[in-house]
């Protein structure tokens, strides 16, 4: 690790001008990582103990501006949202210049992901869902048990997988989502997003909570989750339950104020944006 630059980036925070610094999801970005093995990257990610750590390596696709590898505490991911925006921000801050001004092409496990540079936020193109449709009865029983709610509390439960195997559970309101007291453990791998709408006219459209199984079956809550917000937006927009552009909120229960900016272009492509701020940077010793 000697001599490798790194940055710690806050991704999806509320407006820093309104006291929103460090209200998003932290990300560690390690540069010049070509000499690290997969095992070393995983060990570093586990030691840092953040939800994700990314490592920049040389791209192998000529269309890519950079190549990123994304690690959670226990595995490598083919794609994740907050690491995409945070890595792009760190790459640009360190002097990276995209081949096409205003458009950064990221290479990762799912291939190329486009990131657009806006005046206030970076936005990535939501990748297509690789699994959709209702969950089966056995999985529904697990979800109800984990969330500790009766069946009538869930309006729908559908697959919304876009790399991570997200399941979207929609409840009757944001208040119902915020009131959830889920179990602390789960005996099976689970990537669960729970969604409920705020009243019309609210500054944010809906509340999101992301729950996932981690080490030893513990159930953890992620502060702000780009990949989940991407798939939730695709599901809700396709069903006509919301219209873009809008803002989603996440992290409220665990003391964060994550804000995710959703838009949709004329082709139907969903874009997921967020603020990004480098909080710390340095060189490994």
Digit-coded pLDDT (tens) for 205-231? 999 999 998 877 899 999 999 999 999
What residues contact 119, with CB distance under 8 A and at least 6 apart? Answer: none
Average pLDDT score over residue span 48-55: 95
Give the pLDDT confidence score for residue 1 in this predicted structure. Answer: 61
CA pair distance 79, 212, nearest whole angstrom: 16
Using one digit for the tens of pLDDT, what is the confidence trace for 244-263? Answer: 999 999 999 999 999 999 99
Tokens of 58: 């040389």
pTM of the model: 0.94
Q: Which residue has the higher pLDDT, 2 or 265?
A: 265
CATH no. of 131-255: 3.10.310.10
What crossing angle do the helices spanning 226-238 and 81-93 adopt, rounded to 10°?
120
131-255 and 5-125+272-283 share a CATH fold: yes
The β-bridge relationship of strands 103-108 and 66-71 is: parallel
Q: Average pLDDT over the chain, rounded to whole?
A: 95
Q: Where are the domains of the chain?
A: 5-125+272-283, 131-255
CATH of domain 5-125+272-283: 3.10.310.10
How far, in whole angstroms, is CA 188 from its chain's centroid? Answer: 21
pLDDT value at residue 16: 74
Q: Which sign does the torsion angle of CA 52, 108, 105, 242 carry?
A: negative
What 8-state DSSP symbol labels residue 49?
T
The C-alpha atoms of residue 273 and residue 130 are separated, in whole angstroms, by 21
Higher pLDDT, 7 or 217: 7
Give start and end residues of each alpha helix (H) in the chain: 38-48, 81-93, 137-147, 174-179, 226-238
- 118-173 pLDDT, tens digit per residue, is 988 999 999 899 999 999 999 999 999 999 999 999 999 999 998 789 999 999 99
**What integer pLDDT is reported at residue 133 of this predicted model?**
96
DSSP assignment of 88-127: HHHHHHTT---SBTTEEEEEETTEEEEEEE-SS-EEEEPP
Of residues 210 and 1, more confidently modeled:
210
Residues making up the chain, counted from first to last: 285
| Structure confidence by residue, pLDDT tens digits, 62-119 | 999 999 999 998 899 988 999 999 999 999 999 999 999 999 999 999 899 999 999 8
């Amino acid at each position: 690790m000697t001599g490798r630059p790194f940055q710690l980036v806050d991704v999806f925070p509320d407006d820093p001008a309104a006291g929103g610094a460090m209200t998003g999801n932290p990300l560690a970005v390690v540069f010049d990582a070509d000499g690290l093995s997969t095992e070393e990257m995983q060990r570093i990610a586990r030691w840092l103990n953040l939800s994700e750590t990314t490592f920049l390596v040389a791209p192998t696709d000529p269309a890519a501006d950079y190549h990123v590898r994304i690690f959670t505490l226990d595995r490598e991911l083919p794609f994740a949202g907050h690491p995409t925006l945070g890595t792009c921000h760190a790459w640009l801050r360190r002097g990276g210049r995209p081949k096409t001004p205003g458009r950064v092409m990221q290479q990762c496990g799912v291939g190329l992901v486009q990131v657009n540079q806006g005046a206030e936020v970076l936005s990535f193109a939501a990748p297509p869902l690789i699994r959709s449709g209702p969950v089966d009865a056995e999985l529904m029983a697990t979800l109800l048990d984990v969330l500790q709610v009766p069946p009538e509390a869930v309006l729908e439960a559908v697959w919304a997988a876009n790399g991570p195997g997200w399941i979207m559970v929609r409840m009757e309101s944001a208040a119902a989502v915020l009131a959830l007291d889920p179990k602390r453990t789960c005996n099976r791998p689970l990537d669960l997003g729970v969604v409920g709408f705020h009243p019309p006219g609210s500054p944010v459209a809906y509340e999101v909570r992301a729950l996932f199984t981690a080490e030893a079956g513990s159930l953890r809550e992620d502060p702000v989750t780009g990949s989940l917000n991407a798939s939730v937006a695709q599901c809700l927009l396709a069903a006509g339950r919301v219209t873009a552009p809008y803002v989603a909120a996440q992290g409220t229960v665990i003391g964060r104020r994550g804000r995710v900016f959703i838009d949709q272009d004329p082709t139907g492509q969903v874009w997921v944006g967020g603020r990004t701020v480098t909080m710390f940077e340095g060189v490994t010793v």
